[in-house]
């Protein structure tokens, strides 16, 4: 797949943005004003990132520095999406995401499965970090919703003599797995419903179909393992009230 950079690309993008915004406006979907803005923002961000990536690919240390920057942005993004405030909360978010990303990347690069080079580090680590952010967002939003809607159950556990951490665990554990469903479904249907990015990326880079399959399998299995670690770490941190939005911290007497 090759994309022609020029007026055909500009025209295609404008038409796609117009289509999305027009249908959203016609359907009274309140995000119609957001569609052009996010498209413009994505274009600017990708231009800047493309410039930076050129340097990051030249050395493994620069590549990891770039991935660390991505990690920090991911922490701030998911903290905002889940209502986490303050330095302690953001540090807790970082710990939860790192609990998933660090061991997965250590295994991938430590075993020599992928070479410790910029062109390998940036895409693989970027995918892993991004999916840990997604896992934390899904876990946090569902956990916090459960704690808000089932506060009476939380109080009941306390009345029965269960410690606060145990009461929180009992409320949020039944739905913890739901944050993992999208990734697991993607792994189940890979090659049948869609060909994910790692597979296509290897093919576009000139690799064989076998190499593309191996890369995609490595990424998907790594994502599944990492997201489980992130979800469990987020639950553990929430149980200790280190990872709670301000309203819940007050409500649970943290």
Same domain (yes/no): 157, 68: yes
- DSSP class of 240: T
Same domain (yes/no): 75, 50: no
Structural domains of the chain, count: 2
Same domain (yes/no): 42, 87: no
Residue 28 host element (H or E) = none
d(CA 168, CA 164): 6
Burial status of residue 186 (CB atoms within 10 A of its CB: 0-12, 13-18, 19 or more) = middle
pLDDT, residue 156, reads 93
Beta bridge partners, 10, equal none
Same domain (yes/no): 66, 52: no
DSSP string of 36-92?
HHHHHHHHHHHHHHHHHHHHHTT-HHHHHHHHHHHHHHHHHHHHHHHT--HHHHHHH
Dihedral over alpha carbons 246, 248, 249, 254 (to 10 degrees):
180
Domain boundary among 38, 56, 74: 56
Residues 198-235 pLDDT 10s: 666 665 566 677 777 787 888 889 999 999 999 999 99
Please check whether residue 135 is in contact with residue 98, taking contact to mean a CB–CB distance below 8 angstroms.
Answer: no
Distance set, CA 139 to CA 37, 161, 166 (Å) = 28, 27, 18
Residues 54-89 pLDDT 10s: 777 778 888 888 899 999 999 999 999 999 999 999
Same domain (yes/no): 124, 227: yes
Residue 58 host element (H or E) = none
Same domain (yes/no): 99, 154: yes
pLDDT, residue 4, reads 62
d(CA 237, CA 97): 12
Residue 227 host element (H or E) = helix 209-239
pLDDT, residue 254, reads 57
What tokens appear for 20 in the block? 């999305």
Same domain (yes/no): 190, 229: yes
Please check whether residue 106 is in contact with residue 147, taking contact to mean a CB–CB distance below 8 angstroms.
Answer: no
Residues 121-171 pLDDT 10s: 888 999 999 999 999 999 999 999 999 999 999 999 999 999 999 999 999
* 3-class SS letters over 181-217: HHHHHHHHHECCCECCHHHHHHHHCCCCHHHHHHHHH
Same domain (yes/no): 52, 76: no
What's this model's pTM, rounded to 2 decimal places? 0.81
pLDDT, residue 203, reads 57
What tokens appear for 167 in the block? 């009461």
Residue 253 host element (H or E) = none
What's the domain range around 77?
Answer: 59-251
């Amino acid at each position: 797949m090759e994309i022609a950079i020029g007026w055909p690309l500009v025209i295609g993008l404008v038409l796609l943005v117009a289509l999305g915004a027009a249908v959203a406006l016609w359907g009274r979907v309140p995000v119609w004003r957001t569609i052009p803005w996010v498209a413009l923002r994505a274009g600017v961000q990708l231009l800047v990132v493309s410039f930076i990536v050129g340097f990051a690919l030249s050395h493994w240390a620069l590549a990891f520095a770039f991935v660390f920057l991505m990690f920090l942005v991911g922490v701030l993004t998911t903290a905002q999406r889940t209502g986490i405030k303050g330095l302690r909360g953001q540090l807790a978010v970082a710990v939860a995401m790192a609990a998933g990303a660090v061991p997965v990347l250590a295994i991938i690069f430590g075993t020599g499965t992928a070479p410790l080079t910029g062109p390998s580090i940036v895409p693989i680590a970027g995918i892993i970090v991004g999916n840990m952010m997604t896992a934390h967002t899904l876990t946090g939003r569902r956990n916090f919703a459960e704690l808000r809607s089932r506060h009476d159950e939380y109080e009941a556990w306390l009345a029965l003599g269960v410690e606060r951490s145990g009461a929180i665990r009992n409320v949020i554990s039944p739905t913890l797995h739901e944050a993992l469903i999208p990734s697991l479904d993607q792994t189940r249907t890979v090659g049948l419903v869609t060909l994910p990015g790692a597979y296509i990326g290897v093919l576009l880079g000139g690799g064989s179909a076998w190499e593309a399959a191996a890369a995609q399998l490595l990424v998907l299995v790594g994502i599944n393992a990492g997201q489980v670690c992130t979800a469990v770490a987020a639950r553990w941190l929430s149980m200790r009230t280190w990872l709670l939005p301000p309203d819940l911290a007050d409500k649970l007497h943290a």
